[in-house]
A and B are shown apart, each in its own frame.
Chain A
Amino acid sequence: KAGVTQTPRYLIKTRGQQVTLSCSPISGHRSVSWYQQTPGQGLQFLFEYFSETQRNKGNFPGRFSGRQFSNSRSEMNVSTLELGDSALYLCASSPNRGDPSTDTQYFGPGTRLTVL
């Protein structure tokens, strides 16, 4: 089975711009989660989507949004970019066998976003 894929792998934007990142989960996985990883804060949970619905959300401002399509692919969008948004954005998919607390998440390679 192919793993989780994310595009693009690298992105450079300037402050005030917006960006859309894409994630394709492992075939058959229905849950997609997004994380922001920075050296100081580690991995921080952004949101999780299941069956095209946002099921969980972390403590990020409304500039961060996402969606999931019927084929389970997901996108996240960041509007009005700030310098502090520079980070590695990781997407993870899980099979979601009914108990989210036991579902192993499989991570993609990430998109490294640099905001200048």
Chain B
Amino acid sequence: GQNIDQPTEMTATEGAIVQINCTYQTSGFNGLFWYQQHAGEAPTFLSYNVLDGLEEKGRFSSFLSRSKGYSYLLLKELQMKDSASYLCAATRSDKLIFGTGTRLQVFP
């Protein structure tokens, strides 16, 4: 995924917390998006970070460290419906470059 790295698969239990990491090349970097994609569906926007720090939005939070080229998506109080792929995408030179996605499976 053009130097955007995220784990391929993760598993977690309903009600737990999971952190999905994403690292990217910092050259030309502008901002970092997270998208959720359920199987057979379109990606849907979750969050956008341009400044360092944590952005919280309900059960989902996203963190960015520009100097380290690192972001994570934190999902709390996991529900079965959170089973999906989570795509990290960096804007670079006006293009949105996606990682290959992390497939999260939530078990009861």
Give Cα distance in the complex from A66 to B43, angstroms: 21
How near does chain B come to A55, taking the closest CB pair, in angstroms?
Answer: 7
B42 contacts A108, CB within 8 Å? yes
Query: Could you say which interface size class chain B belongs to?
Result: 20 to 34
Q: List 5 A-B contacts (CB under 8 A).
A: A35-B98, A42-B100, A56-B95, A105-B33, A107-B44
Q: Which residues of B contact A105 (CB under 8 A)?
A: 33, 45, 96
Give Cα distance in the complex from A55 to B48, angstroms: 22
A107 contacts B87, CB within 8 Å? no
B95 contacts A43, CB within 8 Å? no
Q: What are the interface flags for B86-108 relative to A under an 8 Å C-beta threshold, 1 for contact and 0 otherwise?
A: 01010100111111110000000
Total of A-B residue pairs, C-beta within 8 Å: 57
Which residue numbers of A lie inside 8 Å of B, CB to CB? 4, 33, 35, 40-45, 48, 55-56, 58, 90, 100-102, 104-110
Any A CB within 8 A of the CB of B25: no
Any A CB within 8 A of the CB of B30: yes
Q: Which residues of A contact B94 (CB under 8 A)?
A: 48, 55-56, 100-101
Give Cα distance in the complex from A102 to B50, angstroms: 8
Q: What are the interface flags for B32-74 relative to A under an 8 Å C-beta threshold, 1 for contact and 0 otherwise?
A: 0101000001111100101000000000000000000000000
